[in-house]
Structure 1
Amino acid sequence: MISVANRIHVKLEYHDAFEARFRDRAGLVDGMPGFIANHVLRPTRDGDPFVVLTFWESRAAFEAWTTSDAFRQGHARSGTLPKDAFSGPNVLEIHEVVAR
């Protein structure tokens, strides 16, 4: 199993809109083979990023998602926030889960 953490720096005034994007998401990832779970973590300190954390059965399953039509459709919806809502580039981290 792997985890994928996408750290996204969002300006404070856009936090509510960013969270709404995930509450109202299309949910296309939920039906992907190998998908386990999706969590959106809100920062508790100013300046820290949101973390969109997904779990996958394998790296191959995650990579299949990123090259799928469902991925493109789901992320096309994310254009609802202006570029200036983000205070820095996203950082993507992939880890193997070694203990639960």
Structure 2
Amino acid sequence: MYVVMNELHVPEEAKEAMKGRFGKSADNMKEIPGCLDFLFLEQNEENGNLVVFTKWESKEHYEDWLHSDAFKNAHKEKRESKDKGPASGNELKTFDVVHHL
């Protein structure tokens, strides 16, 4: 199993727009081969970050998704936007799952 966490640094005034953008993705991720779970998380702190958490059957499934039309479509709005999007940055972390309940 493979886990990916993408921590998004989003200014407070842009968080609702970002939540809306990822809300559209939640249902689509159910159709992605190898995607076991998709969560969009918000820290319970003032000025907290947003986190996209995905769990995959394998690293290969995740990499297949990165190169898929589904990935391109999920990020189409950001690519076509004239601005750089609501996030001011991000930090991507990947993990091989060692123990799981």
TM-score (norm 1): 0.84
Give the number of aligned pairs: 99
Provide the residue aligned with 1:76 in structure 2: 76
In 1, the alpha carbon distance for the partners of 2:58 and 2:25 equals 23
Instruction: Please tell me whether the aligned partners of residues 21 and 78 of structure 1 are also in contact (alpha carbons under 8 angstroms).
Output: no
Amino acid at match of 1:15: K
Provide the residue aligned with 2:86 in structure 1: 85
Stretches of structure 1 that go unaligned for 5 or more consecutive residues are none
**CA offsets, 1:70-97, max 9 Å, x none?**
110111034569436323x211111011
Query: How big is the alpha-carbon RMSD for the aligned residues of Structure 1 and Structure 2?
Result: 2.2
In 1, the alpha carbon distance for the partners of 2:43 and 2:26 equals 23
Deviates more, 1:6-15 or 1:45-54: 45-54
TM-score (norm 2): 0.83
Question: What is the CA-CA distance between 1:42 and the residue it aligns to?
Answer: 0.5
In 2, the alpha carbon distance for the partners of 1:66 and 1:31 equals 14
